[in-house]
């Protein structure tokens, strides 16, 4: 079938086709990935009559090749001649939908779902639906699981007799002997319910749902909980009580924690699906139970939903429900024995303050926040601190600041560097909310202490933090509070601290502006070029390159250039390298600058700073003098 | 070492809870108990009201006429569950139940005539109430059975005795399968199988022996047990990749396969091809590989015609990146070759030795070494010698190249030995291959240049075609 006869340009295609049969997997894989090119070269007719049958036969290949094939075939409609011929793709995809490997099978089902849309209603009944039926009654479980994903795509577009058959097949699979198939059916139950007529939802789906939700295997039952959301959304309010609620209540009290976990995890969706009345009467007590569940996993999942659940309560008696039913459980969770539960709660509890308002927050929530701020587990404290903005809006942060400080200080000195790193990341946010005064008074020392942390990642984050603080509080603040301290470290006996000065200068120079950079920072950097440690010297070169664009050209020529030239003849190889790098960087810059009068400099500097815009462009945009 | 054909009995005496096993992990279990003290377990939650236990008279003191009645009462007493996460709760009740269980175990093990029909439902009920529970979530979500210490079952002091009782019950000379089968039914077995996921190795050990006895005595359940084990394995392979009891189930299967009748039913062959072979893909293969390889070899010894399926299956799932697994695969191949029939060997030698050649050229010296060790096995060596004409050309180029390139000296010297062996086997063929090797090498180099050209041509064409396609 190689199409090379008499046409040299098709020779590569012939090679590709040969490689489809090569014994090296990688070559077959490459070839399969270029399948659309092969098909294009062969033309639609030969693709249908030669390529597809060939591919159908190669199904006994490595899973990797099959996966690529399954994916390709989903985009093949045009290559076999358009929607009219799309059913030619069904045989290879049908075989792929029966293989053992889940990834391949899922991809084949995905492609089948895709091309099902391209079938005409007639073709759907003549070609596609029979395929679904064959898969649904296959011997081995793989084909039956694949079938589960195909019912919903063909159901809406077939005649009512065929619809009845499809429903029957789905029903059969829901009570399949193999749990794998029942799981597949349960996971598609919601999707299938959505395309069914309401009468059949009530008659068929509900009975299947009830049966799956009381399956002997908990892995099936928990999937029914997911379906519950879709089903409840479809039914009119008056039917929910009799058709859905008994099953949902049973799931919330299931003997397997996995099922209860699923209920907790889907609680917000369930709440929206069943509406306010049922929520008030049924879900509130159910939620209370989940918050008090004996398994920590379930409590943590429920704790995660506290804020969302409260938000979605009907407004008329939201406050009353929260205060009398939810808050007592929340209070208990604050002192839970499991840290995952506490930290899940800490990540959402602050959100309650917006719902409950100022007075309730101060009276009831504040003690909880404060308790969590003192929790033994750093993650809990971090979660509280990271959500301070919610409280800030309601009661202002002052109420908390006295307790906040010890918590922050403790986290800042935590033995685990990841904890320290996390609190550093919240510093700019805290600074913004606590204000500059409080910051100077209490937190500034901390921020400076991180600069000499023994973990590099902390020093790096501390540097970045300073930059953000300067962006927030301004250059003047920087000049008075942090720049002197940073520059002071240049004389530290530890070379790592001296390098930190350079890193800080790199980060701060832009935010501080030309004046501070030239007058205060540059002299320090230049002085450090005589440092005895090579690492410091080459970082001087790097820093000079970095701050160069912020300096004025005079300083560059008279101060920076000589120092760089001196470093370029250093004895150390790395120092030389970085000095030369910096010099050549400046040369490029200078070449654009020199022909222009001084006032053009500013523009070219700023352009350089933004990125690599070529000199040519500069010459066009800057009006030439004379 | 291979697992025995029948799972070994857990070594426990029924008077004392096996203390040294508990002591294996004292610190961890104490810490856990402290952490979770105020919470009851999944199991305990469903006990509606706590019953106060009062000690009953001893079984050995009971008059014969009242023995069965007392036995029954003790069984009922043992249905009460206790909270073991709170280690100081209801110590008196716990002690009464422990003593009662001990007595039941001893009685069913030593005295004849105790097991009468009315006791069956009571005994099975007591066992079900105690052992069937939803296993709690793993304390460590990334639990690695090779690295981490397992979470031990808190209620083991009672649970162990219940398992011991169950085992003695099944093994008792009075045990009547015809009576038991009414209570030990499919639903019971399914729940028993789910318990194999327990993280506690002591519990799995008991379950293994018990399931083996159930399989042996209740013939009506055999097919069902096999089917459900299949489902557990398939779920493990294709869905969750997590199940703690795979090794134990395989050990039971090893002895089941041993008893298969010949010719093998298609159900059993299907099990081999669609379940046992794909089990080799699991990430945690090392935990159950010995048992798995044993099962595979059992199949071959039953029926040599499955050899080709097995070898081709292993080659299909050959590990591509995990060298640790590759060494295991090579070990299994050697076990297979140890018992292979020469006629079967000839059917698979070609693909097999291509893979072995690939292993020899592995940069990981343990893989290369494991493959080269095949030449130290006398039976394998005799097979290679018989088929030297086929095998030597398959591996020659690799051996020659690796002998010059490998970084590890041990590998280089092993390869020299192998080359020497081949030279002695068939010097004529060896010389021919040496001569043609250099020519081959040159040819390969040229082919490579040519194919690079094709790729470039192809990419060019691809762009042209693509442009066309977009236009139309």
Q: Residue A420 to residues A344, A353, B185: CA-CA distances in angstroms?
A: 20, 27, 58
Q: Contact at 8 Å (CB) between A126 and A119?
A: no
Please state, in angstroms and rounded to a whole number, the distance separating the CA atoms of residues B19 and B12: 10
Contact B418, B372 (CB under 8 A): yes
Confidence (pLDDT) at B212? 95
Please enumerate in sequence order all residues whose Cβ is within 8 A of that of A130, keeping only pairs 6 or more positions apart, or say none: none
Task: For chain A, say whether B31 makes contact (Cβ under 8 Å).
Answer: no
Rounded Cα gap, residues A240 and A242, in angstroms: 6
What is the SS3 assignment for B401? helix
Compute the nearest-CA separation of B41 from chain A (Å): 7
Mean pLDDT, range A268-289, rounded to an integer: 89
Q: Which residue of B has its CA nearest to A9?
A: B461
Report pLDDT for B459: 65
**What is residue B113's three-state secondary structure?**
coil
A178 and B CB contact within 8 Å: yes
- Give the DSSP letter of residue B220: G
Q: Between chains, do B454 and A15 touch, taking CB under 8 Å as contact? A: yes
A318 falls in which pLDDT band (50, 70, 90)? Answer: confident
Per the CB < 8 A criterion, the answer to whether A195 and A156 are in contact is yes
Instruction: Decide if B274 and A140 are in contact by the 8 Å CB cutoff.
Output: yes
| CB contact at 8 A, A500 and A448 | no
Q: Indicate the average pLDDT of chain A.
A: 84
- Bin A542: left if φ > 0, else alpha if -120 < ψ < 50, else beta: alpha
Residue B48 distance to chain A (closest CA, Å): 13
Q: Which chain A residues are closer than 8 Å to B134 by Cβ? A: 218, 255-258
- How many residues in chain A? 626
Q: Who contacts A458 (Cβ-Cβ below 8 Å, separation ≥6)?
A: A417, A420, A421, A424, A450
Question: Given pLDDT bands bounded at 50, 70 and 90, which one contains residue B3?
Answer: very low
- B83-109 confidence digits (pLDDT tens): 887 777 788 888 889 999 998 999 888
Strands, DSSP E only, in A68-130? none
Distances (CA, A) of A493 to A453, A486, A520: 15, 14, 21
pLDDT exceeds 90 at position B170: yes
The secondary structure of residue A140, as a DSSP letter, is S
> Tens digits of per-residue pLDDT, A10-30?
666 677 777 777 777 788 888
A468 touches chain B (CB under 8 A): no
Contact A12 B134 (CB under 8 A): no
What count of Cα atoms within 13 Å lies in the side-chain half-sphere of residue A164?
2
**Is the CB of A140 inside 8 Å of chain B's CB atoms?**
yes
Identify whether the C-beta of residue B198 lies closer than 8 Å to the C-beta of residue B152.
no
Count of Cβ atoms closer than 10 Å to residue A552 Cβ: 15
Furthest CA-CA distance within chain B: 100
CA A442 to chain centre: 35
Query: Given an 8 Å threshold on Cβ–Cβ distance, is B278 in contact with A179?
Result: no
Find how far residue A248's CA is from the centre of its chain: 31
Rounded Cα distance, A588 and B79, in Å: 87
Residue B83 phi, psi dihedral angles, 5° rounding: -85, 105
Residues of B in contact with A101 (CB under 8 A): 238
Best residue in B34, B37, B38, B39 to probe A by mutation, most A CBs within 10 Å? B39
Interface test with B, best of A11, A12, A34 (most B CBs within 10 A): A12
Contact B238 A296 (CB under 8 A): no
Contact A34 B462 (CB under 8 A): yes
What would the mean pLDDT of B282-296 be, rounded to a whole number?
93
Nearest residue on chain B to A179, judged by CA atoms?
Answer: B231
Contacts of A75 in chain B (CB under 8 A): none
Q: Is A474 left (phi over 0), alpha (psi -120 to 50) or beta?
A: left
* Residue A101 touches chain B, beta carbons under 8 Å: yes
Write out residues 315-344 of A within 8 Å (CB-CB) of B.
337-338
The verdict on B461 touching A (C-beta cutoff 8 Å) is yes
- Closest Cα in chain B to A102: B238
pLDDT at A441: 80
Confidence of residue A597 (pLDDT cuts 50, 70, 90): very low
Helix (H, G, I), strand (E, B) or coil at B277: coil
Residue A460 CA to residue B186 CA, distance in Å, equals 63
Q: b/e map of A60-83 (b: 16 or more CB within 10 Å)?
A: ebebbbbbbbbbbbbebbbbbeee
Shortest distance, CA B238 to any CA of chain A (angstroms): 6
Question: Which pLDDT score, from 0 to 100, does residue A546 have?
Answer: 87
Write the pLDDT tens digit of every residue in A34-61: 888 888 888 888 888 888 888 887 666 7
Q: Dihedral (C-alpha) B332, B334, B338, B344: value to the nearest 10 degrees?
A: 90
Chain B residues with beta carbon closer than 8 angstroms to that of A13 = 461
ipTM of this predicted structure:
0.76
A144 to chain B nearest CA, in Å?
A: 14
Name which of A41-45, A163-167, A563-567, A595-599 the model is least confident about.
Answer: A595-599
Tell which A residues from 206 to 235 touch B, by Cβ distance under 8 Å. 216, 218-219
- Do B134 and A100 make contact, defined as CB atoms within 8 angstroms? no
Omega before B50 within 30 of 0, i.e. cis: no
- What is the model's pLDDT at position A422? 81
Question: CB B44: neighbour CB atoms within 10 A?
Answer: 20
Give the per-residue pLDDT at B471.
45
Comparing CA positions, the residue from A132, A137, A168 lying closest to residue A147 is: A132
CA–CA separation, A455 vs A437, rounded Å? 29
What pLDDT does A412 receive? 83
Give the pLDDT confidence score for residue B281 in this predicted structure. 92
Span A516-535, average pLDDT: 89
A176 chain-B contacts, CB cut-off 8 A: none
Compute CA distances B61 → B58, B77, B92, whole Å: 5, 18, 22
According to the per-residue pLDDT averaged within each range, which of B19-28, B141-150, B295-304 is highest?
A: B295-304
Task: Give the separation between CA A262 and CA A187, rounded to whole angstroms.
Answer: 13
Query: CA B36, CA A297: separation in Å to the nearest integer?
Result: 13
Q: Is the pLDDT of residue B262 over 70?
A: yes
What pLDDT, on the 0 to 100 scale, is given for residue A552?
Answer: 81
Determine the Cα–Cα distance for residues A368 and A346; give it in Å rounded to an integer.
Answer: 10
Which pLDDT value is given to residue B16?
Answer: 34
Task: Spell out the residues 6+ positions from residue B257 whose beta carbon is closer than 8 angstroms to its own.
Answer: B268, B295, B298, B299, B302
A contact residues 498-537, partner B, Cβ 8 Å cutoff: none
Minimum mean pLDDT range among A581-590, B22-31, B376-385: B22-31
Check CB contact under 8 Å for B239 and A180. yes
Nearest neighbour of A178 by CB, restricted to B134, B136, B231: B231
Q: How far apart are alpha carbons B2 and B297 in whole angstroms?
A: 11
The C-alpha atoms of residue A137 and residue A169 are separated, in whole angstroms, by 8
B45 to chain A, any CB pair closer than 8 A? The answer is yes
Res A327 pLDDT > 60? yes
Contacts of A4 by beta carbon, 8 Å cutoff, 6+ apart? A10, A11, A13, A14
Of residues B262 and B188, more confidently modeled? B188
Q: Is the Cβ pair A216, B190 closer than 8 Å?
A: yes
Residue A60 contacts B where some CB pair is shorter than 8 Å: no
Q: Rounded distance, CA A601 to CA B136, Å?
A: 70
In 10 A of CB A122, how many CB atoms? 9
Predicted confidence band of residue A614 (pLDDT cuts 50, 70, 90): very low
How far CA B251 is from CA of B75, B204, B292, in Å, comes to 31, 11, 8
pLDDT exceeds cutoff 90 at B352: yes
CB contact under 8 A, B134 and A256: yes
d(CA A618, CA A602): 12
**How many pairs of residues across A and B have Cβ atoms under 8 Å apart?**
71
Q: Inter-chain contact B238–A101, Cβ cutoff 8 Å?
A: yes
Across the interface, do A294 and B45 touch by the CB < 8 Å criterion? yes
Alpha carbon distance A376, A241 (integer Å): 44
Helix (H, G, I), strand (E, B) or coil at B33: helix
Confidence at B455, pLDDT banded by 50, 70, 90:
low
Q: For B29, how many CA atoms within 13 A lie in the half-sphere containing its CB? A: 18
Which tens digits make up the pLDDT trace of A387-400? 877 777 777 766 67
Q: How far is CA B45 from the centre of its chain?
A: 33
| Residues of B with Cβ-Cβ distance to A141 under 8 angstroms | 234
What would the pLDDT profile of A57-109 be if each residue is shown by its tens digit?
A: 766 678 888 898 899 899 888 888 888 889 889 999 999 999 988 999 999 99
Determine the length of chain B.
472
Q: Answer yes or no: is pLDDT of B13 > 50.
A: no
CA torsion B141→B146→B148→B151, rounded to 10°?
70
């Amino acid at each position: 079938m190689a199409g090379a006869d008499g046409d040299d340009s098709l020779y590569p295609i012939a090679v590709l086709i040969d490689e489809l049969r090569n014994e090296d997997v990688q070559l077959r894989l490459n070839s399969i990935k270029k399948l659309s090119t092969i098909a294009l070269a062969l033309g639609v007719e030969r693709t249908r009559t030669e390529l597809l049958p060939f591919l159908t036969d190669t199904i006994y290949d490595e899973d990797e090749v099959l996966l690529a094939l399954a994916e390709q075939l989903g985009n093949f409609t045009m290559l076999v001649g358009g929607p009219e011929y799309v059913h030619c793709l069904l045989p290879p995809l049908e075989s792929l939908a029966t293989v053992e490997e889940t990834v391949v099978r899922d991809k084949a089902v995905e492609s089948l779902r895709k091309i099902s849309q391209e079938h005409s209603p007639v073709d759907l009944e003549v070609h596609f639906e029979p395929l679904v039926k064959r898969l649904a009654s296959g011997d081995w479980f793989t084909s039956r699981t694949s079938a589960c994903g195909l019912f919903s795509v063909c159901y809406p577009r077939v005649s009512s007799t065929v619809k009845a058959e499809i429903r029957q097949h789905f029903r059969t699979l829901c009570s399949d002997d193999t749990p794998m198939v029942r799981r597949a059916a349960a996971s598609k139950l919601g999707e299938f319910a959505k395309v069914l007529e309401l009468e059949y939802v009530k008659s068929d789906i509900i009975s299947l749902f009830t049966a799956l939700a009381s399956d002997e295997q908990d892995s099936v039952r928990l999937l029914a909980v997911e379906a519950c959301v879709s089903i409840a959304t479809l039914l009119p309010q008056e039917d929910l009580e009799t058709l859905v609620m008994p099953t949902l209540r049973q799931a919330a009290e299931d003997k397997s924690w996995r099922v209860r976990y699923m209920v907790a995890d889907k609680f917000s969706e369930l709440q929206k699906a069943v509406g306010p009345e049922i929520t008030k009467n049924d879900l509130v007590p159910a939620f209370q139970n989940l918050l008090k569940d004996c398994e920590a996993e379930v409590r943590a999942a429920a704790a995660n939903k506290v804020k969302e659940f409260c938000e979605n309560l009907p407004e008329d008696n939201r406050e009353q429900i929260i205060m009398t039913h939810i808050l007592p459980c929340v209070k208990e969770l604050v002192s839970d024995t499991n840290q995952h539960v506490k930290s899940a709660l800490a990540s959402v509890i602050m959100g309650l303050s917006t719902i409950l308002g100022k007075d309730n927050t101060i009276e009831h929530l504040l003690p909880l926040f404060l308790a969590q701020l003192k929790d033994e587990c750093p993650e809990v404290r971090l979660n509280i601190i990271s959500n301070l903005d919610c409280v800030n809006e309601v009661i202002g942060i002052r109420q908390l600041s006295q307790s906040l400080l010890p918590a922050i200080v403790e986290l800042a000195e935590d033995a685990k560097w990841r904890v320290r790193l996390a609190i550093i990341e919240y510093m700019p946010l805290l600074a913004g909310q606590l204000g500059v005064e409080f910051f100077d008074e209490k937190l500034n020392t901390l921020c400076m202490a991180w600069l000499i942390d023994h973990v590099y990642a902390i020093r790096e984050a501390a540097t970045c933090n300073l930059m953000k603080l300067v962006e927030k509080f301004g250059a003047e603040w920087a000049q008075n509070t942090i720049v002197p301290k940073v520059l002071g470290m240049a004389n530290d006996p530890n070379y790592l601290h001296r390098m930190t000065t350079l890193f800080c200068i790199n980060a701060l120079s832009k935010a501080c502006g030309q004046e501070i950079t030239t007058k205060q920072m540059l002299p320090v950097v230049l002085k450090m070029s005589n440092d005895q440690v090579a690492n410091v010297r080459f970082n001087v070169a790097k820093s000079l390159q970095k701050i160069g664009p912020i300096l004025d050209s005079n300083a560059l020529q008279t101060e920076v250039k000589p120092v760089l030239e001196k470093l370029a003849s250093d004895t150390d190889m790395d120092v030389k390298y970085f000095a030369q790098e910096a010099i050549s960087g400046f040369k490029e810059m200078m070449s654009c600058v020199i022909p222009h009068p001084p006032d053009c400099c500013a523009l070219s500097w700023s352009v350089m700073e933004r990125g690599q815009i070529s000199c040519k462009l500069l010459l066009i945009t800057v009006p030439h003098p004379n | 070492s291979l697992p025995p054909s029948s799972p070994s009995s857990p070594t426990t005496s029924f008077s004392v809870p096996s203390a040294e096993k508990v002591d294996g992990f004292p610190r961890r279990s104490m810490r856990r108990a402290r952490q979770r003290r105020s919470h009851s377990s999944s199991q305990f939650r469903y006990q509606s009201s706590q019953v106060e236990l009062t000690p009953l008279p001893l079984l050995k003191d009971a008059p014969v006429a009242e023995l069965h009645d007392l036995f029954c009462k003790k069984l009922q007493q043992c249905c009460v569950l206790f909270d073991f996460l709170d280690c100081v709760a209801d110590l008196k009740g716990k002690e009464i139940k422990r003593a009662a269980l001990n007595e039941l175990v001893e009685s069913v093990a030593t005295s004849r005539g105790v097991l009468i029909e009315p006791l069956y439902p009571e005994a099975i009920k007591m066992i079900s109430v105690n052992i069937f529970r939803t296993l709690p979530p793993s304390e460590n979500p990334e639990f690695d059975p090779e690295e981490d210490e397992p979470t031990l079952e808190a209620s083991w002091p009672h649970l162990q005795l219940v398992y011991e009782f169950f085992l003695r019950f099944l093994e008792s000379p009075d045990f009547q399968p015809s009576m038991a089968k009414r209570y030990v039914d499919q639903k019971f077995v399914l729940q028993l199988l789910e318990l194999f996921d327990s993280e506690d190795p002591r519990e799995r050990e008991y379950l293994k022996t018990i399931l083996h006895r159930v399989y042996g005595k209740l013939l009506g359940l055999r097919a069902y047990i096999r089917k459900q084990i299949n489902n557990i394995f398939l779920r493990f392979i294709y869905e969750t990749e997590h199940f703690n009891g795979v090794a134990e189930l395989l050990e039971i299967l090893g002895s089941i396969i041993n008893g298969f009748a010949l010719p093998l039913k298609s159900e059993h062959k299907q099990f081999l091809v669609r379940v046992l072979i794909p089990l080799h893909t699991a990430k945690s293969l090392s935990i159950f590989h010995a048992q798995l390889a044993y099962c595979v070899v059992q199949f071959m010894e039953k029926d040599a015609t499955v050899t080709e399926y097995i070898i081709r299956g292993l080659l299909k799932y050959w590990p591509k990146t995990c060298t640790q697994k590759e060494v295991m695969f090579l070990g299994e191949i050697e076990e297979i070759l140890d018992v292979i029939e020469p006629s079967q060997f000839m059917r698979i030698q070609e693909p097999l030795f291509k893979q072995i050649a690939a292993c020899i050229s592995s940069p990981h010296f343990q893989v290369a070494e494991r493959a080269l060790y095949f030449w130290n096995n006398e039976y394998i060596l005799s097979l290679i010698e018989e088929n030297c004409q086929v095998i030597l050309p398959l591996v020659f180029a690799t051996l020659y190249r690796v002998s010059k390139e490998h970084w590890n000296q041990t590998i280089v010297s092993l390869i020299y030995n192998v080359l020497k062996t081949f030279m002695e086997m068939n010097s004529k063929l060896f010389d021919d291959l040496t001569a043609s090797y250099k020519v081959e090498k040159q040819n390969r180099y040229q082919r490579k240049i040519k194919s690079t050209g094709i790729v470039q041509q192809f990419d060019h064409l691809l762009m042209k075609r693509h442009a066309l396609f977009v236009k139309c």
